[in-house]
Chains A and B, each alone.
Chain A
Amino acid sequence: MNQFLRNLTPSQQVAALFLFVFGILAIASISAFLASFRQRDHDEAWQAELKDLRQLLRTSWFMAILFWIAWIMGPAVATTLFALTSFFALREFITLSPTRRGDHRSLVLAFFVVLPIQFWLVATRRFDLFTVFIPVYVFFALPLASALAGDTQRFLERNAKLQWGVVVCIYGASHVPALMLLDFRNYEGKGAFLVFFLVFVVQACMLVQHLLTRRLRRPASIPQISASFNWYTWALGMVLGSFVGGLLSFITPFKAGQAVAMAFVACAAGSMGHLVMKALKRDRGVTAWGARGMSVTGANGLLDRVDALCFAAPIFFHSARWYFGV
């Protein structure tokens, strides 16, 4: 079996991988569907759990299909697709972080100049420039645009919000397609595996953490931020996420130990990033960006789905480049 897989071309290997993922998702979805017919234990907690599971499955389907489309259409389309994701995520972020009239020009800059340039830098593989473009150049340009508008009220706060949105939604998201273009030796054409590795370990960590929290019913460690987060289940999620990373080392350019370490880094960044975004949402007085929280905005919660990834991607990307010298 292993020999058979090794003899396939890289693109056949990736195809097999997607077949595998879609198979697992299909089984999970069918089981969830069948579970909804079960008559006993129709208490509220059980219903809520099933609903959560459905939500999670929907997210996973969404991600898997997104990556599949990105992969079959090639890097240019993949980058465009992530640029669109980034655009919609930033739109949600800005909707819930009220801006003033004086921010208008900075917003135009962020959406229509910074975002396209950042993804263009990714698509053209200007790695050294794209990792510093936002933190160095944009971070000076945005407050300047705000200052030129002449509105001093809450100046620092407004700029902090906008820059934070740019970091999470543009900078973070742009690192996902960038992973596909990293040049590891003897790893040509398999960049999609690296993205898959990142997404899979982060999702696995979050999923385990989520399910264990429900099962073990531990008290929340930081109740002000999250009603469910606690350090014990987080640690278990981290262990399992890293372990899964180790198991998947055969699809990455890493050795087993390195894969565990990289998965650990990705899981830590992803889960902690998710927590940070929760704090942000609490600050805005909502529990989710999407319809469940505050439907008047018309947001559909895209940012809830990609936030962990937006945090994990840049850190994963940088550690890979730094440690492996690619």
Chain B
Amino acid sequence: MLAKLMGLFLLNLVRLLTGAQARWYGCPPKAEQRIYFANHQSHGDIVMIWAALPEELRAITRPIAAKDYWTRTPLKQWITTAVFNAVYVDRERKGDEDPLQPLSDALASGDSLILFPEGTRGNAEEPQPFKAGLYNLALRFPNVVLVPAWIANIQRVMPKGEVVPVPILCSVTFGAPIRLEPGEERRQFLDRARQAVIALRDI
């Protein structure tokens, strides 16, 4: 109940501040298993994509959250667990555990994911080189549709280090799905995925 209210509050807050506009170019919003992958510039990114999705898809789409940061306080943990139903992922590798295991589990159980393949937030105009996670997941789950997305303007709403967001209109542009070609190399695929995200900037 409380989580639902919190979700409603965050949703309306995001709409008030950013308009939370979704632009679907290349694919319609559809209840198939997907990985949305986007540029990452702010903490608001998760909420932005989440708010831009239609309500039916929001329930089956889980964002990825960095475990070290988002479990640091009870409030952060509660928001990511109860409101966003996030999948936690370890940023630093410990022992021989597979860091992608939680994501694989989520995909195996039929959920869609929101992924930021840069791994961390950037400040630059263009996203940093993508990390291998997206490639490995695409390899393991060939039937999951990979949808690139570009989040515009959100870094102006709340730059790194600030706490009060300001109202600036943002949009999320979803592009045409890409797929891992047979025999395609890892670096090549990741660069192509990154280009697919960047290409959405000017549509």
Contacts from A to B (Cβ < 8 Å): 87, 90-92, 94-95, 98-99, 101, 104, 107-108, 111-112, 295-299
Contact = CB atoms under 8 A, between A and B. Distances in A.
Nearest to B168: A95
A111 B152 CA distance: 21
Nearest to B19: A298
Contacts of A107: 166
A205 B159 CA distance: 43
B185 to A, nearest CB: 32
Contacts of A90: 167
A95 to B, nearest CB: 4
A111 B167 contact: yes
B171 interface: yes
A105 to B, nearest CB: 8
Interface in B160-203: 162, 164, 166-171, 173, 201-203
B153 interface: yes
A92 B168 CA distance: 7
Given A104-B159, A295-B23, A111 B153 contact: no
Contact of A298 (B159, B164, B169, B201): B169
Contacts, number: 47
A91 B168 contact: yes
A145 B202 CA distance: 33
B156 interface: yes
A108 B164 contact: yes
B128 interface: no
B168 A296 contact: no
A99 to B, nearest CB: 6
B152 A296 contact: yes
B198 to A, nearest CB: 13
B158 to A, nearest CB: 8
B171 A298 contact: yes
Contacts of A297: 152-153, 169, 171
A142 to B, nearest CB: 13
Main secondary structure of the interface of A (DSSP, over half): helix
Nearest to A101: B159
Contacts of A296: 23, 152, 171, 173, 201-203
B169 A299 contact: yes
13 contacts: A94-B167, A95-B168, A95-B169, A101-B159, A107-B166, A108-B164, A296-B201, A297-B153, A297-B169, A297-B171, A298-B19, A298-B21, A298-B169
A107 B158 CA distance: 11
B170 A91 contact: no
Given A90-B167, A95-B168, A295-B23, 16 more contacts: A87-B167, A91-B167, A94-B166, A94-B168, A95-B153, A104-B159, A108-B164, A108-B166, A111-B166, A295-B171, A296-B201, A297-B169, A298-B21, A298-B170, A298-B171, A299-B169
A87 B21 CA distance: 17
Contacts of A295: 23, 171
Interface string B1-40: 0000000000000000011010100000000000000000
B162 to A, nearest CB: 5
Nearest to B16: A87
A91 B159 contact: no
Contacts of A112: 164
